[in-house]
Structure 1
Amino acid sequence: MIRCSTETMLGMSVDAPEVCKGLAGRLGQMMASLVERETRYGR
């Protein structure tokens, strides 16, 4: 499932189900917000 999400997030898997695409989108948003938070607070 993680591989499915990663493939969709990287745009490598075109045949992924809509649910997988949704999970990949959420995973990307969470990772981006974590990176932004770490950068902002210098951790």
Structure 2
Amino acid sequence: MAHYVLPHSYPIALECRLLWASLGLGEELGRMADELAESLRLR
């Protein structure tokens, strides 16, 4: 399911968190969003 909401158009951690929260996916994916957004910034 995660591949549906990977942040191609939501590269900012907050946007990822809001998106996933709206889908009911919760804190776990919120933390993943932080890590993913951070790795995208480092590239």
TM-score (norm 1): 0.51
For 1:12 and 1:20, how far apart are their aligned partners in 2? 10
Q: 1:27/1:19 Cα in 2 relative to 1: closer, same or farther (>3 Å)?
A: same
Counterpart in 2 of 1:12? 19
Structure 1 counterpart of 2:38, from 9, 29, 37: 29
After TM superposition, the score normalised by the length of structure 2 is: 0.51
Say which one has the larger Rg: 1
Distance in structure 2 (CA, Å) of the matches to 1:13 and 1:19: 10
In the TM superposition, structure 1's runs of 4+ consecutive aligned residues that sit over 4 Å from their partners are: none
Q: CA-to-partner distance for each residue in 1:1-43, whole Å, 9 max, x for gaps?
A: 140x536831334344111000000000000011xxxxxxxxx
How large is the Cα RMSD of the aligned pairs? 2.6
Unaligned runs of 5+ in 2: none
| AA matched with 1:12 | L
Indicate the percent of aligned positions where both proteins have the same amino acid. 9
